[in-house]
């Protein structure tokens, strides 16, 4: 059973609809005990980093997330991925969950030739696998994914970068450390590739752990 964390900042409908299409058992909850009992956790996210952290604080979910993320598979989506990092500059400095070393910064909006470019980064963009042998990418081929974001991750450790796209520079698209995986794009909106990625998260993490 996967628990989708409800903290009033995630696109729960699109995520749960994708899980239903894949016949992946799941619940939507903000109850700490249910999060502890789940086999894996998904943290969706849409909106502002500081608001999201404030909401997680108000629901008293940060400590349980940090505890459970080192024990079981954990998947952050879009803003949910950004929350995995140490901090963000969105709306001023805010601390994140600290599960992956690094920070979140806004796209510069000006390229190396001093020409402006569009922010947010929105639409379909091709992925490049940085660590193609990682279990989350097993059986997958480089494909396009759907992005909508104005801020991007700057991981401190290159080993945490699993895949990236290019938009006026390298954009970390999939990151991971231990049980924790994050996708900057929306898998639930990324057609067949996104469905396969969610299926991999379930099969390569949840099911493999249950077999041990």
Look up residue 137 and give its DSSP letter.
G
pLDDT score for 212: 37
Contact 81, 42 (CB under 8 A): no
Give the chain's domains with CATH numbers: 2-211 (3.40.50.880)
Active-site residue numbers?
Answer: 78, 186, 188
Closest among 43, 136, 36, 42 to 83, alpha carbons compared: 43
Q: What is the pLDDT tens value at each position of the chain, 212 positions in all?
A: 899 999 987 779 899 999 999 999 999 999 999 999 999 999 998 889 999 999 999 999 999 999 999 899 999 999 999 999 999 999 889 999 999 999 999 999 999 999 999 999 999 999 999 999 999 999 999 999 999 999 999 999 999 999 999 999 999 999 999 989 999 999 999 999 999 999 999 987 666 555 43
Angle at 199 between CA 88 and CA 201, to 5 degrees: 45
pLDDT score for 91: 85
Backbone angles phi, psi at 168, to 5 degrees: 55, 45
Closest among 12, 145, 135, 160 to 85, alpha carbons compared: 160
């Amino acid at each position: 059973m996967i628990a989708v964390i409800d903290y009033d900042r995630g696109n729960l409908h699109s995520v749960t609809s994708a899980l239903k299409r894949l016949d992946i058992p799941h619940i939507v909850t903000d109850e700490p005990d249910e999060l502890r009992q789940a086999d894996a956790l998904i943290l969706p996210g849409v909106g502002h980093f500081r608001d999201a952290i404030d909401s997680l604080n108000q629901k008293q979910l940060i400590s349980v997330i940090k505890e459970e993320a080192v024990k079981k598979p954990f998947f952050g989506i879009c803003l949910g991925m950004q929350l995995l990092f140490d901090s963000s500059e969105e709306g001023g400095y805010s601390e994140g969950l600290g599960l992956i070393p690094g920070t979140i910064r806004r796209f510069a909006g000006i390229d190396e030739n001093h020409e402006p470019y569009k922010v947010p980064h929105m639409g379909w963009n091709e992925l490049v696998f940085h660590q193609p042998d990682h279990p989350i990418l097993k059986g997958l081929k480089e494909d396009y994914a759907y992005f909508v974001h104005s801020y991007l991750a700057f991981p401190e450790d290159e080993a945490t970068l699993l895949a990236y796209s290019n938009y006026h520079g390298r954009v970390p698209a999939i990151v991971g450390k231990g049980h924790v995986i994050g996708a900057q794009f929306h898998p639930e909106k990324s057609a067949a590739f996104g469905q396969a990625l969610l299926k991999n998260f379930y099969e390569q993490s949840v099911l493999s752990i249950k077999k041990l």
